[in-house]
Amino acid sequence: MTDAMKELRASLLAAPVIWKGDYPYFIHPITDGVPRMDPEVLNAITKLVVDRVNWSEIDVILGIEAMGLPLTAPLSMATGLPLIIARKRSYGLEGEVEIDQSTGYSRGAMYLNDLKKGERIAILDDVLSTGGTLEAVIEGVRRAGAQVSDVITVVEKGGGMKRLQGNYPEIRIQSLVRLEMDGAKVVLLDDD
């Protein structure tokens, strides 16, 4: 196991857990923006993601608001590739693509701007649970005439990964860490 993976895993195991009704919810700076983000954890995530994609086959990095902002900025700097963010508000720019985003806990519109036909996209997201957000973003990228080559999510929990991999076998979809909640405890499911 790399030092970067050890750093990420340790930060997840130390994440505070709160209860929302009968549901335990882990709070982590990469997924929630609180508590404060340790730059070493962000650096570890960037290193892990850089090593998992053939960046010579990617034209643009795409992040998803809100946590896509801190996740993709250092990745853009490390790879030298431009980034775009799927935003939760419309800017009305020419070519803007509206996405109907629906997850297990929210519903609303998102917007993609500045995608060009034929561009190869790598998406970096914080958490994959149901896969609703990522599926909507992938379909929005396709409507813009671009193609998603890779999707990496920092944390995978729930069954959304298998569903997305089944629906999009041509896209390399992976996570850095798989976890589940056992009461008020975060349980990591992978050894590396």
Instruction: For 122-161, write each residue's pLDDT tens digit.
Output: 999 999 999 999 999 999 999 999 999 999 999 999 899 9
What does the block give as tokens for 96? 């803007």
* E-only strand ranges, the chain: 17-20, 23-26, 60-64, 83-86, 97-102, 107-112, 120-128, 147-156, 172-182, 185-188
Identity of the residue numbered 164 = L
Instruction: For 25-44, write each residue's pLDDT tens digit.
Output: 899 999 999 999 999 999 99
pLDDT band (50, 70, 90) for residue 103: low
pLDDT band (50, 70, 90) for residue 112: very high
Whether residue 83 has pLDDT greater than 90: yes
Instruction: For 38-70, write each residue's pLDDT tens digit.
Output: 999 999 999 999 999 999 999 999 999 989 999
Alpha helices in 57-131 (DSSP H): 68-79
Burial of 170 (0-12, 13-18, 19+ CB in 10 A): exposed
pLDDT band (50, 70, 90) for residue 104: low
Fold of 3-188: Rossmann fold (3.40.50)
Alpha helices in 33-119 (DSSP H): 39-50, 68-79
Closest CA to 144 of 169, 113, 123: 113
Identity of the residue numbered 12 = L
pLDDT band (50, 70, 90) for residue 71: very high
